[in-house]
Amino acid sequence: MGSIKTGTDVVVIGAGPGGYVAAQRASQLGLDVTLIEREELGGTCLNHGCIPSKALISVGDLLYKVNNAAERGLVVKGSVEVDFAKTQEWKETKVIKRLTSGVASLMKAGQVEVVKGTARFTDPHSLEVELNDGGTAAYTFKHAIIATGSTAVNPSFFPLDGENVVDARGALAFREIPPRFVVVGGGYIGVELGIAYAKLGSKVTIVEATGQLLPGTDPDLVNVLMRRLRRLGVTVMLNARASGGLQNGKVKVQDGEGKVHEIEADKVLVSVGRVPYTEGLHLDKAGVRVDEKGFIPVDEQMRTNVPHIYAIGDVCSPVMLAHKASAQGRVAAEAIAGRPSAADWQTVPAVIFTDPEIAYVGLTEAQAREKGYDPVVSRYNFAAVGRALTMGESDGMVKLVGDRQSGLLLGAQMVGPEVSELIGEIALAIEMGAQMEDVALTPHYHPTLSEGILEAALSWMHSIEKAGRK
């Protein structure tokens, strides 16, 4: 048994975007903090998810734009070659390593003790850590924050082999661009990476078991995406199921009519969901309860059923978003410090980094109606936005949802260029209880993509005025 550290105020288990933010905030509030992580600081998001995927997406976007710029007078003589080893080196050293080093610096500046190892509870106020460099150490704590995240589902019908059949982590680490790439699962991870590799040169097939890519997303947004996928040469098979793994360079897919197709593939990404990760934590010894799906239930201050133990991020919520985990981490740290903090935000934005991008926040028309509002929806196409035309990115639209009676802004759904950057305006407006008129009367800089939001708000106001005159 290694050394025993007593008197620790807060132990944070997991150093992802929830855990390290919680540790930083707790240290800022004067608490003694120990952060335990078995892998790299930054967790899955920074090392094997959000950040590396966006790095590859940006490279694919750049290549696609260069190869399709003839209309704007940029003629490439010959072909643009991709040195994918160099791409991966850039991703690892110039992006991921720089960010993980930044997290390490934050922890050092905050005097957070970082322990590299695997934690498991031994009782409600103690845990043991199997250290990466050998041996174990025991810690006692006044409070604990569980931030262990989630892990990819490894389905029995299409098991991963870690080399040719992989999860997103494996797909982000390919050393070569696969000539033929099959994606099993049409959720946001599969579609994002499918598009990225299609732009890098792969022949991509996406197999989705339901009748729509990105299940649960507004069909108006997905329809715009589907048109772009066809132009990219991506094959989409809906109401289809893949099974049996990769056999002799082929994947068997059964379509909605029962016909079996054999799709040629060099690599397969299986992305059919993620589940909360609590394996080996021995939550039972701490008395922490989990629900039937494996999530840890929490209250608005992120407390579990054990009052001094908190949980944040993917491990406690099926809405698995890094920025939500970070916000929850701040709430948990402030609650531990006795601050009147709670997860009472009105809405959390979501972004899908496809081409074109998709972003949404707040209520859809149907959700607003279910909640008793009388929703009115306005749309404005990017084809009429000057900045979008100058960028050669005119596909897509802004949809705003407002309540007819109160004028309250209820939600937005967008698909188009850089909507990932636009959605924050609507999230802030909803959080502050803005009315549609507030958005419509706010001058937006010209020419910018944000004018799509302005015009949609003005259109909403006009529709209400017109209805009132009838």
Annotated active-site positions, please? Answer: 446
The rounded distance, in Å, linking the Cα atoms of 222 and 235 is: 15
> Which residue's entry shows tokens 């840890």?
296
125 annotated to a ligand binding site: no
188 annotated to a ligand binding site: yes
441 annotated to a ligand binding site: no
416 annotated to a ligand binding site: no
Cβ atoms < 10 Å from Cβ of 41 = 22
b/e burial code for range 326-349 (CB count within 10 A of at least 16 → b): bbbbbbbbbbbbeeebebeeebbb
61 annotated to a ligand binding site: no
187 annotated to a ligand binding site: yes
Q: Find the Cα–Cα–Cα–Cα dihedral 434, 435, 440, 445, rounded to 10°.
A: 10
150 annotated to a ligand binding site: yes
Cβ(313)–Cβ(328) under 8 Å? yes
380 annotated to a ligand binding site: no
320 annotated to a ligand binding site: yes
The rounded distance, in Å, linking the Cα atoms of 141 and 310 is: 12
185 annotated to a ligand binding site: yes
Q: Which of 382, 356, 394 is nearest to 71 (CA)?
A: 394
273 annotated to a ligand binding site: yes
148 annotated to a ligand binding site: yes
Residues 6+ apart with CB under 8 A from 195: 57, 60, 204, 229, 232, 234, 354, 355
Q: Which of 348, 397, 404 is nearest to 372 (CA)?
A: 404
147 annotated to a ligand binding site: no
54 annotated to a ligand binding site: yes
The rounded distance, in Å, linking the Cα atoms of 294 and 273 is: 14
Q: Is the peptide bond before 124 cis (omega within 30 degrees of 0)?
A: no
Helix runs in 125-280, H state only: 168-172, 188-200, 219-232
The rounded distance, in Å, linking the Cα atoms of 217 and 226 is: 13
190 annotated to a ligand binding site: yes
321 annotated to a ligand binding site: yes
Binding site, annotated residues for NAD(+) = 185-192, 208, 273
Binding site, annotated residues for FAD = 54, 148-150, 314, 320-323
Binding site, annotated residues = 54, 148-150, 185-192, 208, 273, 314, 320-323
